[in-house]
Chain A
């Protein structure tokens, strides 16, 4: 139990589908993140939210759309994805936005996404 819960754990979707990944953190943290992890690539930071405001968007294609309705919940809306978007999507949280030195990141168990 990490304190960061992601659903679904596995998702298979077609290129024309619309789906969403959900993340909930029970740690009372103020910052939440979406990372993408592909084979043979380092963890890629996608989005950062601090106190429900997006503070970072690392040139992520618009087919990925984040939503942070409150400090405990984070969504990643997916539409018209490509097969190369297949990856492990990790949600994470930290006490404050990691712009503050020394924050550690708590990861969820991830959502394995396969685009067919």
Chain B
């Protein structure tokens, strides 16, 4: 079945440093979504990418969808302590009745 892997599993940065998490799918995706889960919280939808090579920005967050629609990345510029949490990608397979498969997640820790 479809697998969605994320790297790194964990990253610890100092406030102000940049951070990137990468998401790789074993199959071609129709779309990819990103979610953020704060410590002790629940996943919250951030964004969806649909087109090959698509790039979207939300303030300091930049999301990219690969040309082959099998990978994606989330880049945070100048991290802040409010960015702490686990970031999940979720890829939807092509075809009808296709599942949304969550990635393994990247836990981000930001210290002053």
On A, residues with C-beta under 8 Å from B are 2, 41-43, 45, 55-56, 90, 97-99, 101-110
Q: How many A-B pairs fall under 8 Å by CB?
A: 54
**30 sampled A-B residue pairs with Cβ under 8 A:** A2-B42, A42-B4, A42-B88, A42-B102, A42-B103, A42-B104, A42-B105, A43-B43, A43-B102, A45-B99, A45-B102, A90-B42, A97-B97, A98-B99, A99-B96, A99-B98, A101-B31, A101-B92, A101-B98, A102-B48, A102-B50, A104-B48, A105-B33, A105-B45, A105-B90, A105-B100, A107-B42, A107-B44, A108-B42, A110-B42
Interface size class of B (residues with CB under 8 A): 20 to 34
Closest B residue to A97 using CB positions:
B97
* 4 other A-B residue contacts (CB within 8 Å) besides A2-B44, A107-B42: A56-B99, A90-B42, A101-B30, A105-B90
Interface of B is mostly: strand
On B, residues with C-beta under 8 Å from A are 4, 30-31, 33, 35, 41-45, 48, 50, 88, 90, 92, 96-100, 102-105
